[in-house]
Structure 1
Amino acid sequence: MGSVPTSNETSFIRLKEFIAAPYGFKYPELELSTDDAPNRSVTSHSKHILILGAGVSGLMVAWMLLDKGYRVTIIADDWAWNRDFEKSRMTSQIAGALWEFPPGGFGVAEGGHANDGWTKMIHQRQWAVDSFDFYNQYDKIDTDFEKHGRSLGLQMTKLHQFYFDNVVSGGEDEESKKLEALKKVSDERSEFEMGIKTYDSAEKITAQFPNVNNKGEIRQKFTSAYSHRTPIINTDKAMAYLMALVTAKGAQLETQKFVGSIKTFGESLLKDHGADVIVNATGIAAKELAEDDDVFPMRGAVKRIDNTRNGQFRHLNDAYLVPAQKDSLGHVIKSIVIIPRSDDVLYIGSLMQSGNYGNDLTPDSPEVQVMWNRAGEFMPKLLAAGVVPSYPFAQGLRPCTKKNAKVRADEETKFHLVHNYGHGGAGWTLGVGTARTAVAIVEALLGALPDGRTTKALGAKEINEKIYGKRSE
């Protein structure tokens, strides 16, 4: 059994026990170690978990299971790549990885789904808060190996969001309600140090943000804005770190591409590996593997800008977001995202193309040019910036579903199968929270803990109803 850490050790992240709304599911305290050794060593009682998929959703589940003392094998057909820029990155690496309080900035107007489906908004917000808690604690780690998030490529910075309508004075529109919910989180979790600030007029915005074009020359003026502290992840660094960490903690890695449905090969896969549960974290591939017709891609692209104070462009430390929204004429204004990463690269986006599986965009594609011009109209000084020569442009497919993220026990299979996919563009915002839910489902299915203790095993439907309530369909 691994050693029990003392309270003054700083290499541990502790996500506290809580009762989740609205159905009262209990999440036990979860302790993660940033050390190479797992929190709890494998024993003869340890169950074996297979994880399909090696993006952030799969790797976070692996980390949690390993630190609980489970045996873990990760099977994937694609792995994080960091050695050069010739090979395309996986979706978890291309993501801007800016933490946003749900729903994210691309909004319902631009392909987002606020409707209740596999999950409700309350679950997504709980997952996001869990993830913020993880990043916030990680930022405070200061040991010989970890210095305030550097290994993970984490930085805590400010996010500024801008709106045409007044969303900061307690209105009944969705954006106003979202801000009020975020303020409640900030009040209840003072350790997050969110420091929310609001601006309720065009004049205040112009005075506070002189780099932002708010003269009404393009569409109309921004009349409200708000700022808060938020995490940003350097995804290349983070994926390399997570791969190295789970390998050091004992995960076995296998490269294999699956064809067909998990329902047809899952039982034999478990038997071949002597395993007990499959966690499906395959993203877009879940459309075929999970026979889920609700899965669809949301193609995205970013321009990668040199953020090193070279030339006329001055370095940016803060993130800027104009969520997709409608102007005074009822026309949808697409989102603008400006994200400074810890590697002196500025991500400029965002492109949202629903149902497009293509990987054929270039920096000269018309929609990419429009995306760049949109950002330049918002912040004119960007037009003096230059791209990163070695890697100027990135594109990928966000794995979405029409029913929001699916983190559930499969109710149809005779073997234990847990799904964890469909995060859309919010994998790094929701990923810690969804992984924690997936792990809780694994343990509820097994009714056995790594230290040999047993609990009452629950059926898949019972578990899902305890977390999400009864489905209406």
Structure 2
Amino acid sequence: MRTQLRWGYNFSFDARPQVLPTPASPHILVVGGGVTGLVTAWVLLDRGYHVTIVSKQWATYTSEQRLTSQIAGALWEYPPAVCGQHTDEQSLLKSKKWCMVAYRIWEAVAADAALSVAAGVKMQRSVFFFPGPIEDNPKQSRKLCEIYESGVQGVRRNPGLAEELGVESRCGAVDAYELTAPAIDTDQNMAWLMQLVQRKGARLVTECIAGDLLHQEKSLLARFHAHAIINASGLASRELAADPTCYPLRGALLRFINDGQDFPKIDTAMSIAADASLDNEIVFLVPRSHNILVVGGIAQPGEEELDLTLDSPAIRRMEARCKSFLPCLKNARLDPEYPLAQGLRPGRDKNIRVERENRQHGAEQSRIFHSYGHGGSGWSLSFGCAEEVAALVDDMLVSDQHQLPVRSRL
């Protein structure tokens, strides 16, 4: 399947790359096997590049620890996301552009019945609540105006949504708006993405690359016969990009059985952002496929260990908060196979980094590019960031050609 998206790039959802590579096509090494790495590989493959993806681990489907990309709530959001704020306006402006690229692509996936099932993507009614009139919160009021103008589907303000959905208004649900957003079953989609990029020609290598990429750039380029390296390693960028501004933002979700037996089946996503809630804590509920409702959340900066349990105080508070917000969850049953999901979101003090490495080898510019620091917004920003970093690679390779002697280019 091929589709012409509004942002002007022909994007292929089937095994055939949009632009077929030749033996002479450039080869790009992508470091990282999460959603950022896989989507970046997809964009590069459709531009006609050869791609190798290196990751120390891939998506798993057991009760053991899963990738951060699998732990995510993965409900598309217009920035800033519910789990945290951007620290500078430039990053926020870029994120607003990037998120709409992803919106259109996930929307196109959801519009195809077979593709929607295979990829685990659907368009989901999503409601965002506030403890007072939205206009009393200038940031949220401005955000709503931008959403109205963005082309997002189904945008409607309605203070009566709390009563309609059985939400306790005293928990910070006085005003609300709804929209229709892509909701992604992360386990299903990660499997689909891995299969898709391999069918398009990507080679997957399981390997742990350690240390500053800059110090091993030449050896990696030579070993993988690559023309460029894209670092999409998330939190590992503390080491691979020698970036001390990266930090873990620990998050967790509870997984309830959403089959209609213990409470009326929930088919609407609901949330209160940290900056909008009365106690500065996150509440969100997202229906997943296979009768699962994911409920959260927490955002704990600087917490490195994945040692939370169902009895951890933070988890018990999170559960109580969500059940107070939506009282029908009082008797909800946890998924016995996988009740608690936790992961380390890749935070960054300076926000998202999508750029060429600015350190040099003497007078020689690096051929490393970065896409990391997405925090809790990796799924929402995936395609926008991938497009931007791919364009940077394009520019470098065009510049390479311009710098060659005329005879060498013939």
TM-score, scaled to structure 1: 0.81
1:434 alignment partner, SS class: helix
Aligned to 2:140: 175
Structure 2 residue 118 is the aligned partner of structure 1 residue 151: yes
**CA deviations over 1:244-269 (Å, ceiling 9, x no partner):** 11111111111111221011001110
Q: Does 1:132 align with 2:113?
A: no
Three-state SS of the structure 2 residue aligned to 1:150 is helix
2:92 aligned to 96, 118, 121, which one?
A: 121
Instruction: Point out where structure 2 has 5 or more consecutive residues left out of the alignment.
Output: 404-410
Q: 2:131 aligns with which of 164, 185, 188?
A: 164
Equivalent residue number for residue 77 of structure 2:
100
Identify the residue that residue 7 of structure 1 maps to in structure 2.
Answer: none
- Aligned-pair distance for 1:306? 0.6
Of 345, 368, 375, the match for 1:398:
345
| Structure 2 residue 349 is matched with structure 1 residue 384 | no
Residue 86 of structure 2 contacts residue 92 of structure 2 at CA under 8 Å; is this kept in 1?
A: no
Hey, what does 1:353 align to over in structure 2?
Answer: 300
Q: Distance in 2 between matches of 1:296 and 1:389?
A: 31
8 Å CA contact 2:130–2:276 kept in 1: the answer is: no
**Contact persistence 2:2–2:12 (CA under 8 A):** yes
* Larger proportion of helix: 2
What is the percent sequence identity of the aligned residues? 34
Contact residue 87 and residue 349 of structure 2 kept, 8 A: no
Counterpart in the other structure of 1:60: 39
CA distance in 2, matches of 1:337, 1:56: 21
8 Å CA contact 1:267, 1:415 repeated in 2? no
Cα deviation code 1:265-294 (max 9, x no counterpart)? 011100122110000000000001101011
**Equivalent position amino acid for 2:271 in 1:** L
C-alpha contact (below 8 Å) 2:26/2:50 kept by paired residues:
yes
1:405-420 aligned at under 5 Å gives the runs 405-413=352-360, 414-420=365-371
Which among 213, 217, 229 is matched to residue 278 of structure 1?
Answer: 229
Residue 89 of structure 1 aligns with an amino acid whose one-letter code is R
Does the Cα contact within 8 Å between 1:302 and 1:395 map onto a contact in 2?
yes
**1:44, 1:36 → 2: CA distance?**
18
Give the match's secondary structure for 1:447. helix
1:321 matched residue in structure 2: 271
Instruction: Classify the secondary structure of the residue corresponding to 2:87.
Output: coil
Secondary structure of 1:151's partner?
helix
Query: Match for 2:250: what amino acid?
Result: R
Q: Distance in 1 between matches of 2:141 and 2:80?
A: 12
Q: Distance in 2 between matches of 1:228 and 1:267?
A: 48
Equivalent residues in 2 for 1:410-449, closer than 5 Å:
410-413=357-360, 414-447=365-398
Question: Could you tell me which residue of structure 1 aligns to residue 4 of structure 2?
Answer: 14
CA–CA separation in structure 1 for the residues paired with 2:236 and 2:163: 47
CA positional deviation for 1:126:
0.5
User: Residue 16 and residue 347 in structure 1: after superposition, are their counterparts in 2 closer, same or farther (change >3 A)?
Assistant: same
TM superposition score normalised by structure 2: 0.93
Equivalent position amino acid for 2:117 in 1: R
Q: How does 1:195-234 map to 2 (within 5 A)?
A: 195-200=154-159, 204-209=160-165, 211-214=166-169, 216=170, 222-234=173-185
After superposition, where does 1:84-95 map in structure 2 within 5 Å? 84-85=62-63, 87-95=64-72
Q: 1:403 to 1:13 in 2, by over 3 A?
A: farther
Contact 1:341 1:347 in 2 (8 A): yes
Shift of 1:13: 3.4
Shift of 1:40: 2.4
1:396-433: CA deviation from partner (whole Å, max 9, x where unpaired)? 00001011111111122333111000100001011111
Q: Which amino acid aligns with 2:104?
A: D
Distance 1:165 1:346 in 2: 27
The answer to whether the 8 Å contact 1:155/1:342 transfers is: no
Q: 1:161 to 1:326 in 2, by over 3 A?
A: closer
TM-align CA RMSD: 1.8
